[in-house]
Structure 1
Amino acid sequence: MKSLDNIRVEVASEEHLKFVDDINDAIDEASKKRGTGIARRTYEYLSSKMQEGKAIIAIEGEQFAGFCYIETWQEKGFVANSGLIVREEYRGIGLAKAIKKKAFELSRKKYPNSKIFGLTTGLAVMKINHELGYRPVTFSELTLDDQFWKGCQGCVNHDILERTGRSKCLCTGMLYDPAWEKPVVNGSPIKKRSLLDLIPRIKPGLANKKNKLLNRNK
């Protein structure tokens, strides 16, 4: 049984370039097994993230255990924690959460005023994101940068994204806004949105049904 105690979770650097191919192979394997998932990146792209100090890697001895990287969009107004992958033999011990937390901290340190977002199909990742302060949002609230969405072209479900005019896919969009941590602006508290706040926009029919039931009970 693997243990977190034996794994280093740290900011990646040039010394970790030797793991790039292993990381991409792990991404491919996970995507094929699930029938969905993150798109494969080029060697040059992932290596640049390591060299720029914009990636998190988990290492046990001389073996890569997990990985994640950060990207910026719309003049650094948005930051994405992307490409989260944990090798199969290291799953179930909390490593994904440790990597996501480290990536979140790195994003907040480098870009304290940026909104942090991500796309995921994994329930476990959604739970981790929620614990970090993310909230589910519609795709329209994420970055409008075409370069970000081009990164989805390598995903097996890209045709769904195209058919829906980039409004939905199998992934769930999640967002963290640093403004939510500022309780008062000009004397008025910022309301933190919950999933219930999003229902009228995401599922208008469900919201109408709820209102009818409330009116009947008055």
Structure 2
Amino acid sequence: MEIEISSSKHLMYVGEIQQEMYDSAQRRGTGIAKRSIEYLSKKISEGNAVVAAENGEWVGFCYIETWSHGQFVANSGLIVSPKFRQKGTATLIKNKVFQLSRDKYPTAKIFGLTTGLAVMKINSDLGYKPVIYSELTQDDDFWNGCKSCVNYEILMKKERKNCLCTAMLFVPNNNKVNEVGTEQPENKYKNEQESNLSV
């Protein structure tokens, strides 16, 4: 399996990626914000995503987005093809997109919202901590991205102070203890259910 920073050669997978995001949200009945083909294509073309593939078959995906003039970076849309779940794929993709975020935006805080236990464990291993929503970007465009989530009404009723997703935040520091190295991480969660992936 190859896990690469995205480029135009990966655009052939965009339809499958979008469909699996939609299907996963339907199965779970909880929030994965919908993203258009155009939006996902732009992320892939700009090199702001990570794509995993094996023998020409799409395996997994995750993208990055910046907020508040680059002060915050979100690793979003983590999704793994059902055929490749429960094999540690999500951990490898998340590590790669985390390193891409650190390389492109070394001083930014990296955050995610998720309802998935497997993603919470992966984030925790990378140095993320659970936080209250006020610690995240307050950029309206970010929160508008939640409009397609089934839980958006809950978020708004709570005045964007909390929702069903857990907010997690990585704050860079000078000792770089939490940076991902060049070696492949040990996959402690390969037996975890990876069907509930979203950030």
State the TM bucket, normalised to the shorter chain: 0.7 to 0.9
More helix by share: 1
Q: Is the 8 A contact 1:30 1:37 kept in 2?
A: no
Q: CA deviation at 1:91?
A: 0.8
Report sequence identity in percent: 55
Q: How many residues align?
A: 177
Q: CA deviation at 1:182?
A: 6.5
Give the Cα separation in 2 of the matches to 1:82 and 1:179.
22
Flag the structure with more relative contact order, 1 or 2, with Cα contacts below 8 A and sequence separation at least 6: 2
5+ unaligned residues in a row in structure 1: which ranges? Answer: 1-6, 184-218
Q: Tell me the residue number matched to 1:110.
A: 104
Q: Is the 8 A contact 1:70 1:82 kept in 2?
A: yes
Q: Is the 8 A contact 1:140 1:167 kept in 2?
A: yes
Which structure's CA Rg is the greater one? 1
Matched, 1:36 2:39: no
Q: Tell me the residue number matched to 1:156.
A: 150
CA shift in 2, pair 1:181/1:175, >3 Å: farther
The normalised TM-score by structure 2 is: 0.86
Q: Is the 8 A contact 1:58 1:99 kept in 2?
A: yes
Q: Choose from 14, 21, 25 the match for 2:8.
A: 14
How large is the RMSD of aligned CA atoms in angstroms? 1.2
1:61-80 to 2 correspondences below 5 Å: 61-80=55-74
Q: Choose from 120, 128, 137 the match for 1:143.
A: 137
Q: Is the 8 A contact 1:120 1:126 kept in 2?
A: yes
Q: Tell me the residue number matched to 2:186.
A: none
Q: Tell me the residue number matched to 2:19.
A: 25
5+ unaligned residues in a row in structure 2: which ranges? Answer: 178-199
Give the Cα separation in 1 of the matches to 2:27 and 2:116.
13
Q: Is the 8 A contact 1:136 1:172 kept in 2?
A: yes
Instruction: Deviation per CA, 1:34-83: give whole Å up to 9, x if none.
Output: 11132111111111111111000110112111100000000100000000
Give the Cα separation in 1 of the matches to 2:74 and 2:92.
17
